[in-house]
Amino acid sequence: MDRNFDLKAAISSVRAASRACRDVQQRLVSADSLEKKDKSPVTVADFASQAIVCARLEAEYPNDPLVGEEDSAALREDEQSKLLNAVVQTVGSEIRGNPDEDQVLGWIDRGNADASTLRYWTLDPIDGTKGFLRGEQYAVALGLIEDGEVVLGVLGCPNFPANDGIGALFAGVKGQQARAYALWDESDDTGAEVHVSRIASAAEARFCESVESAHSDQSTSAQIARALGITDAPFRIDSQCKYAAVARNDASIYLRLPIRADYEEKIWDHAAGKIVVECAGGRVTDADGHPLDFSRGRTLAANSGVVATSGRIHDEVIDAVRRVRGMA
Residues 178 and 319 in one domain: no
Percentage of the chain lying above the pLDDT 90 cut: 76
Residues 207 and 179 in one domain: no
127 is catalytic: no
Q: Which residues, 6 or more positions from 23, have their beta carbon under 8 angstroms from its beta carbon?
A: 90, 93
Q: Span 122-135, mean pLDDT? A: 92
Q: Which of 46, 238, 269, 286 is catalytic?
A: 46
Range of the domain at 125: 4-193
Residues 156 and 59 in one domain: yes
Residues 96 and 188 in one domain: yes
Residues 138 and 228 in one domain: no
46 is catalytic: yes
Indicate the average pLDDT of the chain: 92
Higher pLDDT, 42 or 192: 192
State the pLDDT at residue 31: 46
Q: What is the CATH number of the domain that holds 183?
A: 3.30.540.10
Nearest residue to 236 (alpha-carbon basis) of 96, 120, 134, 126: 134
Residues 52 and 168 in one domain: yes
Instruction: Dump pLDDT digits (tens) for 266-288.
Output: 999 999 999 999 999 999 999 99
Number of folded domains that form the chain: 2
State the pLDDT at residue 137: 94
Question: Among the three residues 174, 193, 212, which one is the final residue of a domain in this structure?
Answer: 193
Q: Place 43 in a pLDDT band, splitting at 50, 70 and 90.
A: confident
Residues 158 and 242 in one domain: no
Tell me: pLDDT of 251 over 50. yes
Q: What is the CATH number of the domain that holds 227?
A: 3.40.190.80
Tell me: pLDDT of 4 over 80. yes
Higher pLDDT, 260 or 15: 15
State the pLDDT at residue 197: 97
Q: Which of 43, 122, 129, 309 is catalytic?
A: 129
Residues 211 and 263 in one domain: yes
Higher pLDDT, 29 or 296: 296
Tell me: pLDDT of 141 over 70. yes
State the pLDDT at residue 215: 52
Residues 206 and 108 in one domain: no
Residues 13 and 142 in one domain: yes
Q: Span 184-211, mean pLDDT? A: 94
| Contact (Cβ atoms closer than 8 angstroms) between residue 289 and residue 251 | no
Question: Among the three residues 173, 193, 213, which one is the final residue of a domain in this structure?
Answer: 193
State the pLDDT at residue 232: 85
Residue burial 275-301, b: 16+ Cβ < 10 Å; e: rest = bbbbbbbbbbbbbeeeebebeeebbbe
State the pLDDT at residue 36: 65
Residues 183 and 243 in one domain: no
Residues 232 and 264 in one domain: yes
Residue burial 84-105, b: 16+ Cβ < 10 Å; e: rest = bebbbebbbebbeeebebebbb
Question: Among the three residues 129, 160, 193, which one is the final residue of a domain in this structure?
Answer: 193
Beta strands at 149-162 and 207-209: parallel, antiparallel or unpaired: unpaired
Instruction: Dump pLDDT digits (tens) for 193-205.
Output: 999 999 999 999 9
